[in-house]
Amino acid sequence: MAKAIGRAGPQGPLQAGPGADGGGQNARAALLMTLGMAGFAFEDTLLKLLSRAMPTGQVLMIVGLAGMVVFGSWVALRGGGLRPRDLLHRGVLARNLCEAICAICFVTALATGDLSIASAILQALPLLMTLGAALFLSEPVGWRRWLSILAGFAGVLLIVRPGTDAYQPASLLALIAVLALAARDLITRRLPPGIGSGMLTASAFGAMAFAGAVLALLGGQRMMMPDARQAAMLLACVGFGLGGYLAMVIATRIGEIGAIAPFRYSRLIFAILLAMAVFGERPDGWTLAGAGIIAAAGGYAMWREARLRGRPRTASPGGPIPPG
């Protein structure tokens, strides 16, 4: 789902540089990134199908608990320990609040609106990250990336089209979800390096489960026993989500960010194809144009940032990246 774009970053100990064979490693990383994005698109499709048959809060609770158990076990088996005290760090608490808001808004947007529109709006995340880093983290952003941000927001307006017959209220929920994701990732940049990505991911799934419980309680949703088909879909949903996350992490570790960044937008292609095949959606020309603008602008922003981070600096190590 939405938070699967970067559940833990990947940051901290999960991140590493590209391998020694350069192009070969980047090709494998691009393939893994594409497979990861396909996994996320299938996960979103299953979430939409499940939300039609089961209470949304229950779906969030089950998927969140399953992810928390899997990643919590992984962290424990790595030998680093779960360190529950890390969960009380105010940054982690704020991050998990963003996760909870994102989970409720995005899954509700999937349940009540078009998969293709929600997925397209989600692709604005890198642009919001660049904007947030400039406004709140004092990172320099040059005119090229400012133009990409403006272009991306124009693409969002082409998709949402407020005040027209094409407007879907679910689009507003998708926008809130992506804002919550951007806030989550900005908070993650400020967390102490000792708080590992595995722990953050496990706690994020826990926040998702908590959000589901709150949604079910406030909405008066009654829990139901999943039948065999629904249980299989829930299992597949968790599998696609975790598999997509693992592929994304490996891709980020072995490939250069600038080389694999454009392949993040393959998720949008898979989502549109699945929306058409499974739900009979037919995105109009404005929606497709807006999605294309967002993908191009976001891909450029990520490529530009990766290029600037790799540029030799005359300042001291650890100084700010040059604007661009």
Model confidence pLDDT, tens digit, residues 76-92: 787 655 677 778 889 99
What whole-number distance in Å separates Cα of residue 136 and Cα of residue 186? Answer: 8
Q: Which tops the pLDDT comparison, 145 or 115?
A: 115
pLDDT at 5 over 80: no
Q: Is residue 235 part of a domain?
A: yes
Residue 12 lies in a domain: no
Alpha-carbon distance 318 to 52, whole Å? Answer: 49
Angle among Cα 15, 18, 23 to the nearest 5 degrees reads 150
Within a domain: residue 320? no
Percent of the chain with pLDDT over 90: 45
Give the least confident one: 11-20, 108-117, 161-170: 11-20
Write down the mean pLDDT value for the chain: 83
Over residues 222-260, the pLDDT tens digits come to 888 999 999 999 999 999 988 988 888 888 888 877 778
DSSP designation for 192: -
Give the lowest-confidence range in 20-29, 56-65, 159-168, 304-313.
304-313
Question: Quick one: pLDDT at residue 81?
Answer: 57
**pLDDT at position 24, please?**
81
Is 264 within a domain? Answer: yes
* pLDDT at residue 323 tops 80: no
297 falls within a domain: yes
Q: Does the pLDDT of residue 125 top 80, yes or no?
A: yes
Q: Is residue 52 part of a domain?
A: yes
Q: Is residue 255 part of a domain?
A: yes
Residue 213 tokens, joined: 């419980």
Chain centroid to CA 183: 12
DSSP state letters, 287-315: HHHHHHHHHHHHHHHHHHHHHHHTS--SS
Evaluate whether 302 touches 257 at the Cβ level (below 8 Å): yes
Residue 306 has pLDDT above 80, yes or no: no
Average pLDDT over residues 16-38: 76
Residue 50 pLDDT > 90, yes or no?
yes
Query: How far is CA 274 from each of CA 13, 40, 195, rounded to the nearest angstrom?
Result: 34, 12, 36
> Residue length, the chain?
324
CA–CA gap between residue 8 and residue 5 (Å, rounded): 9
Q: Which residues of 164-187 are buried (b: 16+ CB within 10 A; e: fewer)?
A: eeeebebbbbbbbbbbbbbbbbbb
Direct distance between the N- and C-terminal alpha carbons of the chain, in angstroms, rounded to an integer: 31
Least confident of 8-12, 42-46, 81-85: 8-12
Please return the burial class of 162, using the count of CB atoms within 10 Å of its CB with bins 0-12, 13-18 and 19+: exposed
Percent of the chain at pLDDT above 70? 86
Distance from C-alpha of 56 to C-alpha of 53, rounded to nearest angstrom: 9
User: What pLDDT sits at residue 6?
Assistant: 42
pLDDT at residue 31, as a whole number: 93
Q: 238 Cβ partners below 8 Å, 6+ apart?
A: 63, 66, 67, 70
Domain count, the chain: 1
Whether residue 318 is contained in a domain is answered as: no
**DSSP code, position 8:** S
Residue 220 lies in domain: 2-7+17-309
Q: Residue 4 — pLDDT band, cuts 50, 70, 90?
A: very low
Query: What global pTM score does this model have?
Result: 0.82
